[in-house]
């Protein structure tokens, strides 16, 4: 009887660990990453275009997609790469945890774009990654995010305070 109880506990523990690893027992969003390649354009050019679209579409003052987030970008002077980071805004409206990032890297005669979601909902991150991929191919359209937003607001968190956009430092 004791051996059976030990085996049952071990099995339940393994199941719990397995579910937690898959996100089954956590409230954290499921991570989402994506990758795209833009041929014949340097990282600085691709980064500039996509950074403009991110600020125009996701952080527009009249109807921001990301109401509780901060835009931050870094681009080295040598033009070999860049990173756009979307951070959660903390209580003082400064950068908190990184929620989403877009990295631009030189790959021979192309630019590789990698997106990484750390904190946003899976559905929102999928739409954001689709935007990035469309913009990388030349589109300038801002897609509607209304069906992936929570009922209390358009952004990934409830609230009506507009996101803060910080220039690269």
pLDDT digits (tens, 9 = 90+) for 140-154: 998 877 654 442 233
Residue 38 confidence (pLDDT):
93
Checking if the pLDDT of 155 tops 80, the result is no
pLDDT in tens, 71-82: 999 998 898 899
Question: Of residues 67 and 154, which shows the higher confidence score?
Answer: 67
User: How confident is the model over 61-71, as a mean pLDDT?
Assistant: 91
Checking if the pLDDT of 1 tops 70, the result is no
Residue 13 confidence (pLDDT):
47
Residue 12 confidence (pLDDT):
44
pLDDT in tens, 85-120: 999 999 888 899 999 999 999 999 999 999 999 999
Indicate the pLDDT class of residue 33, thresholds 50, 70 and 90. confident
What would the DSSP string read from start to end of the chain?
Answer: -HHHHHHHHHHHHHHHHHHHHTTSS--SPPPEEEEEEEET--HHHHHHHHHHHHHHHTS-TTS-S-TTEEEEEE--TT-SEEEEEEEEE-TTSSEEEEEEEEEEEEETTEEEEEEEESSS-HHHHHHHHHHHHHHHTT--PPPP-GGGS-TT-SSSSS--PPPEE----
């Amino acid at each position: 009887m004791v051996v059976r109880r030990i085996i049952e506990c071990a099995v339940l523990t393994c199941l719990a660990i397995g579910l937690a690893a898959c996100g089954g027992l956590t409230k954290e969003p499921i991570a989402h990453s994506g990758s795209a390649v833009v041929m014949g354009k340097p990282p600085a050019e691709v980064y500039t275009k996509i950074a403009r679209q991110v600020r125009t579409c996701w952080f527009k003052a009249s109807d921001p997609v990301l109401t509780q987030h901060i835009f931050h970008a870094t681009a080295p002077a040598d033009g070999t790469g860049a990173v756009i980071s979307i951070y959660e805004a903390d209580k003082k409206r400064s950068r908190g945890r990184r929620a989403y990032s877009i990295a631009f890297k030189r790959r021979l005669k192309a630019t590789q774009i990698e997106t990484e979601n750390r904190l946003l909902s899976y559905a929102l991150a999928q739409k954001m990654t689709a935007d990035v991929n469309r913009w990388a191919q030349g589109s300038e359209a801002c897609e509607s995010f209304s069906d992936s937003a929570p009922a209390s607001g358009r952004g990934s968190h409830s609230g009506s305070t507009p996101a803060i956009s910080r220039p690269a430092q």
